Structure 1
Amino acid sequence: MEREQGHKSSQAANETLQPGDPVVAEYKTGVYIGELVELIPGKAKVRVLAVVKHPEQGNLHVGHRTDVSMFHQRRALAFREVANMPLASVRRYTSEIPDYYPSLQGAIRREIEELEERAKWARQSVESLRELQGEYDRQYAR
Structure 2
Amino acid sequence: MMDNKQGPAEMVKITYKTGDYVGETIDRDERRVLVKVLAVLQHPTQGDLHSSYDPEPPIFHERRALAYTEKVWVPVQTAQPYAGAIPSYTDSLKTALGIEMERIDRMKRWAERCLENLHGLQKDYGV
- Indicate the TM-score class for this superposition, using the shorter chain for normalisation: 0.7 to 0.9
Kept in 2: contact 1:26–1:86 (CA 8 A): no
Q: Does 1:92 align with 2:100?
A: no
Distance 1:18 1:116, change over 3 A: farther
CA distance in 2: counterparts of 1:26 and 1:41, whole angstroms:
19
Aligned to 2:21: 32
> 2: CA distance between counterparts of 1:84 and 1:65?
30
1:103 aligns with: 92
Contact 1:19 1:38 in 2 (8 A): no
Alpha carbons 1:18, 1:36 under 8 Å: kept: no
Normalising by structure 1, we get a TM-score of: 0.76
Deviations 1:62-92 (A, max 9, x none): 2221212222211100111111223333211
**Partner-residue secondary structure (3-state), 1:47:** strand
Cα distance change, pair 86–134 in 1 and its aligned pair in 2 (3 A): farther
Equivalent in the alignment of 2:47: 58
Instruction: Please report the RMSD computed on the Cα atoms of aligned residues, expressed in angstroms.
Output: 2.0
Deviation per residue, 1:110-129 (Å, 9 max, x gap): 11111111100111012112
Percentage of matched positions with identical amino acids? 36
Select between 52-61 and 116-125 the one with higher mean Cα deviation. 52-61
Superposition TM-score, scaled by structure 2 size = 0.84
Task: Report the Cα distance in structure 2 between the residues aligned to 1:121 and 1:86, rounded to whole angstroms.
Answer: 37
| Residue matched to 2:60 | 71
Structure 2 stretches lacking a partner, 5+ long: 1-5
Residue 27 of structure 1, CA deviation: 0.5
Partner of 2:114: 125
Task: Kindly indicate which of the two structures has a greater share of residues assigned to helix.
Answer: 1
Instruction: Give the aligned residue type for 1:109.
Output: G
Distance in structure 1 (CA, Å) of the matches to 2:33 and 2:117:
47
